[in-house]
Amino acid sequence: MADPKFPAAPERVAVVGGGIMGGGIAALFAANGIPVTVFDVTEAQARATLDKLADPDQKLPQLTSQRHLKRIAAASTEAYPELLPKHDLIVEAVPEVLSLKQRVFTAIDQHRRPGSIVATNTSGLSIRSIAEGRSDDFRRCFLATHYFHPVRYLPLVELIPTDDTAPDLLVGYGALLRRMGKKVVVGRDTPNFIANRVGIFAMLKTVELALKYRLPIEAVDQITGPPLANPKTATFRLSDMVGLDTLLHAAENSWKNAPAGALIGEIEPPAVIRALVEQKRLGDKTGEGFFKKVGKGEVLTLDLDTLDYRPKREARSDVVRVAKTYSRPADRVRAMVEGGDEPAAAFARELVLWSGAYALDRVGEVCDDVATVDDAMRWGFGRDLGPLQCLDAVGLARAAELMSDLRIPRPKLLEQALAAGGRLYEEQPDGRTSVFDPGAGALRPLPDDPAVLSLARVKRQPGAVVRENVNARLLDLGDGVLLCELDVKMVPSLNPVDDYVLAMLEQAHEEIDAGRFRALVIGNQAPGFCAGANLKRVLELAKAGELSTIEAMARKLQEVNLRNYHAPFPVVVAPHGMTLGGGLEIALGGQVRVAASELYCGLVEVGVGLIPAGGGCLRLLQLQSKKKNKRGNPLGAMQNALAAFDLIGFGKVSSSAEDAQDKGLLERDDVVVRSKDEQLRVAKEVALQRLEGFTPRPAEPVPQAGHGGYLVMEDTINTMVRAGKIGPHAATIAKVQARILTGGKDADMSAPSSEEHILALEREGFIELVQTPATQARIEHMLKTGKPLFN
């Protein structure tokens, strides 16, 4: 019998068992263009899963576009004989009860097509037991996948083969998941696999140490959040979100089923968690856990000693304050661990070292290598650094010393790594990362993934940085493609567009005009592409009355975008994450976009009392005017204006790149990539493809609704004011918006407008609004609180 070959892309996937995980997995495949059948006991139950996916009011939708729903069918398991053989990948996601899973697989084994792949989705059951009694073919085609909830937003998938799993299958499945934007690690059939096993230990250790150092919950969450390279949800907040019953279940699994005799063993679930679970204080799902929600926005905190709730107390710690001043996670961790005698520091020190030692002790048991542990913790829990990277941050020699001080057993691997140079990770001169390989007793470079284009690595190539200023740089991506990287170091989370960024975009044209490059890509690998203009600067100028400077800034952004749009060479923009205001204007200024699926884009200027004045109104209006009805006729100038008004006037933000296309914030022809790591490689490929037979984009006339259309909008705005639905300043902004989108006072529907005309209206409107005290108040409020002011 030949080994089963994993298909490059399955033709049809069966998800057996709906519910939260099944729905999330179905949505993932559907988003990647693969048809899915969700099987459940009854068709109605399967349909309920689809209905849940379709629910427009979900906080975190699993689908990136409602369009994908049409790829998902619902069926009853009674239809197995007819339907199951049509599926070449079968994913089981029924509840985590071994006997139930075994029963489900007996039926699947009976009806599946030989050679079809079967995956069980489990977070901790023994894979071997699940496969027991199944046919030979089944067992060769079988493995486990462990997704994290919510599937769309947490990238990690742990793949667990059995001894019988065909090796090709493991490789093929991993490649498929990576193409679909997931991050894959390979684990072993051990309790709770990797991320949850290591995560549970850290959680239980945190509780133990909190009691030891008598730290209240607020203090613990403050320390175990960003100061220790974790997300803000830290420990207790995360536990409430996950559910204490789920947590206890996993903790029991580690405690009871992990192999005995380890250097650093498991921790028995503490009484406090057992008590809370017994009292049905399970966290968010029952309204109380480590925190309790009372009334509007008020949250009480659990006292770990009395198990009563008390008002929330702000935690204060000098060492935390100092740690937070570091932008690099590793520096923060070091600052905490070396923070002296303060209880917060002592707590952090013990936690980091225990967690690191435990994790190091698991290498070789739960997975083969060092990087897998850290990868799993970063991708599954959203951490900046895994526990072993934290040890590296402290320094292995220093970590070893501290472990001895704290009487933490020192794992054998630690001694080996110390002997081999004292680091677990090391960056190579070419930008590649080397990791300590226990088998070789030395550091070995991680293998390259040709699908991934890493800017960190590009920058290490000699001569790759073509030009650079404080907020942007030009990079040689090879093959004649130039990248303009937005990299605003002072505010890397926002990457605001400013004079430096615009200057670099202009210089990109110089480089290409001089014949040194053939195509331009605009992008970066920051957390988000660009969250808009530098508001602080705009406010300063407005307050100083320097309106001509503001006008010049807007004009510059318009010019750069216009130049990109009509450039005599390909300009591809790669938006991802937060792409707001000026960021989206830069994106729309490109000729085509290669967008990451996780894209949150919108023209949100209204929130700060402004209107888009970098060509955003123009391009959005054009995007709407490209929409056609079913018969291929244009929709009419007023409909275009109203659609654009709806997007800009309410500052609508997409929930994904596909949603942005649906909403009309991106073009239908724009490319959407699932994996952010592959985005710039694809963008470069698209730029090169466009070189062949390239023709610049001509200036297109812009349909305008005219003054009569404006009056309709003005009337609606006035009606909304009278009804108390919007405030007076919102009305002022909306009217400026309406004027731009309908073409201004003298516009007539019969004469299409020009790009220049709409751009002039944008500038005029921007200047009109930025002078008003109400807009300035909105900007100030946003800068201070990060939230919009509705005045």
Partner 1 sequence: MELKKVGIVDFCRSPIGKAKGGALAGVTSIEIGAQVLRALLERNPKLPRDRVELVVAGTAYPEGEQGLNVSRQIAFKAGLPVSVAGVTVNQFCASSQQSVMMIADALACGKGDIGIALGLEHMARVPQGGYNPYFDPELYEKNFYIPMGDTAEVLARENQISRDDQEAFAVASHRKALAAWAEGAFAREVVAIETPQGLAEKDEFPREPDLPKMKSLKPAFDLKSGTVTAATSSPISCGVAAVVLATEEAARELGLGLRATIESTAVAGTDYERMGLGPLPATEKALRRAGLSLQQMDVIELNEAFAAQALAVIRLGGWTDVAERINPLGGAIALGHPLGMSGARIIGTAITGLERTKGTYALATMCVGGGQGASTILKRAGA
Q: Is residue 54 close enough to count as binding partner 1 by CB under 8 A?
A: no
**Residue placing its CB nearer to partner 1 in the complex, 692 or 746:** 746
Interface with partner 1 (CB under 8 A), residue from 712, 767, 774, 777:
712
Phi-psi region of 214 (alpha: psi -120 to 50; beta: other; left: phi over 0): left
**Residue placing its CB nearer to partner 1 in the complex, 296 or 722:** 722
- As a whole number of angstroms, the distance between CA 159 and CA 570 comes to 40
Q: Mark the segment that binds partner 1 (CB under 8 A) among 26-34, 383-391, 434-442, 714-722.
A: 714-722
Q: Pick from 425, 531, 511: which is nearest to 468 by CA?
A: 511
**Residue placing its CB nearer to partner 1 in the complex, 53 or 705:** 705
Is residue 682 a contact partner of residue 654, using CB atoms and an 8 Å limit?
A: no
**Residue placing its CB nearer to partner 1 in the complex, 401 or 646:** 646
- As a whole number of angstroms, the distance between CA 589 and CA 720 comes to 33
> Least CB distance from residue 665 to partner 1, whole Å?
21
Helix axis angle for 343-362 and 329-337, nearest 10°, is 120
Phi-psi region of 435 (alpha: psi -120 to 50; beta: other; left: phi over 0): beta
> Least CB distance from residue 630 to partner 1, whole Å?
11
Q: Pick from 428, 402, 427, 400: which is nearest to 416 by CA?
A: 400
Q: Is residue 790 close enough to count as binding partner 1 by CB under 8 A?
A: no
Locate the DSSP E strands across 405-490: 425-427, 433-437, 442-445, 465-468, 472-476, 481-486
> Least CB distance from residue 648 to partner 1, whole Å?
19
What DSSP letter does each residue of 610-657 carry, written as one string? ----SSHHHHHHHHHHT-B-TTS-B--HHHHHHHHHHHHHTT---SSH
Q: Is residue 632 close enough to count as binding partner 1 by CB under 8 A?
A: no
**Residue placing its CB nearer to partner 1 in the complex, 596 or 738:** 738
> Least CB distance from residue 743 to partner 1, whole Å?
13
> Could you give the string, one character per residue 667-706, with x where binding to partner 1 holds by CB under 8 A and - elsewhere?
--------------------------------------xx
Interface with partner 1 (CB under 8 A), residue from 637, 644, 680, 687:
637
Which tokens hold the place of 42?
Answer: 């009854």
Q: Is residue 241 close enough to count as binding partner 1 by CB under 8 A?
A: no
Interface with partner 1 (CB under 8 A), residue from 186, 399, 638, 733:
638
Q: Is residue 646 close enough to count as binding partner 1 by CB under 8 A?
A: no
3-class SS shares of the chain: helix, strand, coil, % to 5: 50, 15, 40
Q: Is residue 387 close enough to count as binding partner 1 by CB under 8 A?
A: no
Interface with partner 1 (CB under 8 A), residue from 9, 442, 749, 774:
749
> Least CB distance from residue 700 to partner 1, whole Å?
20
Q: Is residue 719 close enough to count as binding partner 1 by CB under 8 A?
A: yes
Interface with partner 1 (CB under 8 A), residue from 81, 261, 447, 724:
724
Is residue 37 a contact partner of residue 12, using CB atoms and an 8 Å limit?
A: yes
What DSSP letter does each residue of 306-371 carry, written as one string? T--EEE------HHHHHHHT-SSHHHHHHHHHTSTTSHHHHHHHHHHHHHHHHHHHHBTTTBSSHH
**Residue placing its CB nearer to partner 1 in the complex, 34 or 637:** 637
Q: Is residue 717 close enough to count as binding partner 1 by CB under 8 A?
A: no
The residue assigned the tokens 């300035």 is: 776
Q: Is residue 55 close enough to count as binding partner 1 by CB under 8 A?
A: no
Q: Is residue 723 close enough to count as binding partner 1 by CB under 8 A?
A: yes
**Three-state secondary structure call for residue 483:** strand
Q: Is residue 74 close enough to count as binding partner 1 by CB under 8 A?
A: no
> Least CB distance from residue 72 to partner 1, whole Å?
19
Interface with partner 1 (CB under 8 A), residue from 271, 711, 751, 783:
711
H or E element: which one contains 129? helix 127-131
For partner 1 (CB under 8 A), the number of binding residues is 18
DSSP state of 607: G
**Residue placing its CB nearer to partner 1 in the complex, 152 or 739:** 739
Angle at 666 between CA 154 and CA 766, to 5 degrees: 110
Q: Is residue 41 close enough to count as binding partner 1 by CB under 8 A?
A: no
One-letter identity of residue 211: L
Interface with partner 1 (CB under 8 A), residue from 20, 315, 552, 635:
635
Q: Is residue 731 close enough to count as binding partner 1 by CB under 8 A?
A: no
**Residue placing its CB nearer to partner 1 in the complex, 372 or 640:** 640
* 690: exposed, middle or buried (Cβ count in 10 Å: 0-12, 13-18, 19+): middle
Q: Is residue 636 close enough to count as binding partner 1 by CB under 8 A?
A: yes
**Residue placing its CB nearer to partner 1 in the complex, 147 or 710:** 710
> Least CB distance from residue 43 to partner 1, whole Å?
16
End-to-end CA distance of the chain: 73
Q: Is residue 738 close enough to count as binding partner 1 by CB under 8 A?
A: no
User: Can the peptide bond before residue 527 be classed as cis, meaning omega within 30 degrees of 0?
Assistant: no
Chain contacts with partner 1 (rule: CB under 8 A): 635-639, 705-709, 711-712, 715, 719, 722-724, 749
